[in-house]
């Protein structure tokens, strides 16, 4: 996947010089998303938003985020170009660094952007990085991903896709979103929780490893965890053995037309 965006480089003080238009885009995105997630995000995400305390008026600097995030789990965000190689991505995770692209979407792509921008990275993922179960899953998953070859890494990423990016969670109030891919999307936050169209099935690692996905459509299928702490417990299983089993059994029939791509 190629990006059409140009990453911004930190200045001599290590800060990103965001323009007034870019700050306005952040303001628009975070203001409208705040209303959407109130009744559709999991309680942990909402608590994470309070813990981080994002600025509404400007794109936060990574130094702002790190000063708060480190106190909770020892993690920090790392400024990276728009797209980085998979090995670099997982190396950062294995070292408790979350890669955050240094660009924000243009107004014409306010509702949907294919590549992850800083709003997706900061708003979608950072709040839950204040919780050890989520942060530890990220770290250990990064280490496991680095232990396999590139082709197996792409298959293993399906676990990441159906949890960290597009995972749902059972709560006393009903199904809620915890995946950053939907929580940073005004459309998919609602679609994932309320639409009767997509399928929602209990999360099972082997099943997820056999499930193809597309990156450029609302997801036709979501996997649901029983509780938030179950995320880290996924790593209690032998994921490498499950990876081999998934290759042996083969993929399920896709629930979408054969277009788009997996990461």
- How high is the pLDDT of residue 113? 87
If you search the block for the tokens 């209990």, which residue do you land on? 202
- How high is the pLDDT of residue 83? 80
- How high is the pLDDT of residue 182? 95
Q: Is 125 annotated as a binding residue?
A: yes
- How high is the pLDDT of residue 255? 93
Q: Is 58 annotated as a binding residue?
A: no
Whether residue 263 has pLDDT greater than 60: no
pLDDT digit string, tens, across residues 228-248:
999 999 999 999 999 999 999
Q: Is 120 annotated as a binding residue?
A: yes
CA 28/CA 34 separation, integer angstroms: 10
Domains of the chain from N-terminus onward:
20-249 (1.10.800.10)
pLDDT digit string, tens, across residues 97-154:
999 999 999 999 999 888 899 999 999 999 999 999 999 999 999 999 999 999 999 9
CA 220/CA 256 separation, integer angstroms: 7
Whether residue 64 has pLDDT greater than 60: yes
- How high is the pLDDT of residue 199? 98
| CB distance 165 to 179 below 8 Å | yes
């Amino acid at each position: 996947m190629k990006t059409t965006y140009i990453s911004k480089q930190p200045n001599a003080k290590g800060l990103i010089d965001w323009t007034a238009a870019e700050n306005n885009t952040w303001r628009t995105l975070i203001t409208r998303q705040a209303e959407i997630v109130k009744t559709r995000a999991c309680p942990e995400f909402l608590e994470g938003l309070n813990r981080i305390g994002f600025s509404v008026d400007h794109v936060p600097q990574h130094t702002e985020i790190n000063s708060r995030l480190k106190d909770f789990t020892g993690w920090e965000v790392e400024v990276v170009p728009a797209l980085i190689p998979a090995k670099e991505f997982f190396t950062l995770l294995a070292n408790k660094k979350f890669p955050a692209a240094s660009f924000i979407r243009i107004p014409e792509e306010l509702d949907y952007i294919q590549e992850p921008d800083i709003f997706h990275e900061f708003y979608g993922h950072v709040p839950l990085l204040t919780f050890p179960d989520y942060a530890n899953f990220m770290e250990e998953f990064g280490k496991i991903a680095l232990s396999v070859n590139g082709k197996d890494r792409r298959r293993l990423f399906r676990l990441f896709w159906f949890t960290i990016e597009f995972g749902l969670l059972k709560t006393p109030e009903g199904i809620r979103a915890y995946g950053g891919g939907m929580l940073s999307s005004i459309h998919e936050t609602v679609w994932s929780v309320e639409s009767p169209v997509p399928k929602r099935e209990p999360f099972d690692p082997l099943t997820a490893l056999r499930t193809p996905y597309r990156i450029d459509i609302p997801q036709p299928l979501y996997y649901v965890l029983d509780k938030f702490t179950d995320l880290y417990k996924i790593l209690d299983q032998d994921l490498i053995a499950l990876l081999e089993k998934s290759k042996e059994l083969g993929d399920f029939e896709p629930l979408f037309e054969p277009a788009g791509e997996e990461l």
